[in-house]
Amino acid sequence: MPYKDPEKRKECTKRWKQEHPQRVKELNEKSRKKCREHVLSYRRKYSKRPLCKRKQALSMRRRSYERRMQIIALLGGKCKCGFSDPRALQIDHVNGHGNKEKREAGSTITYYNRILKRIKEGSKDYQVLCANCNWIKRHEMREVAWKYEQ
């Protein structure tokens, strides 16, 4: 080591850095890349742990809950019968096909995102119904159980 005194060593490093700006830049980039790779490999490793997965699932559920509340608020926040407790409000597709759309979307959050986008674009295909009105509508529209009612 050229300098035992830490102060002098510091001086020397500083001087060297001033004399070789290009080299400093290269070294910085290298270490940044290395650090990034490390972070990524760490993430890959730990994102597979059960606890982490559980947290991911929870955050997914929370996000889709937030989306749902957003949609309900956009659609007026209450059923046509006056019921307004969001715990039993459902987003209904006016013309049915809600299930098909949900299947096509693949995940709840994608499904909600699509609905949100359409509503913002001015779509009138969706409405908020309470659970009771929704089931009654499904029966009336013959979306369910029509085989058993005849």
How many other C-beta atoms can be found within 10 angstroms of the C-beta atom of residue 9? 13
Instruction: Tell me whether residue 72 or residue 109 sits nearer to Zn ion (CB atom).
Output: 72
How far apart are alpha carbons 142 and 136 in whole angstroms?
A: 10
- Write down the least CB distance from residue 72 to Zn ion, Å: 13
- Write down the least CB distance from residue 131 to Zn ion, Å: 8
Question: What does the per-residue mask of binding to Zn ion show for 105-144, with x meaning CB under 5 A?
Answer: -------------------------x--x-----------
- Write down the least CB distance from residue 109 to Zn ion, Å: 26
DSSP reduced 3-state for 15: helix
81 touching Zn ion, by CB under 5 A:
yes
CB 17 within 8 A of CB 24: yes
- Whole-number Cα distances in Å, 70 to 55, 58, 119: 22, 18, 11
CA–CA–CA angle 137, 142, 147 (5° rounding): 135
How far apart are alpha carbons 107 and 77 in whole angstroms?
A: 23
Please identify which residue in 67, 68, 71, 79 interacts with Zn ion, judged by CB under 5 A. Answer: 79
89 touching Zn ion, by CB under 5 A:
no
65 touching Zn ion, by CB under 5 A:
no
Residue that is written with structure tokens 């020397």 in the block: 12
Instruction: Tell me whether residue 79 or residue 115 sits nearer to Zn ion (CB atom).
Output: 79
Instruction: Tell me whether residue 115 or residue 133 sits nearer to Zn ion (CB atom).
Output: 133
Residues that bind Zn ion (CB under 5 A): 79, 81, 83, 130, 133
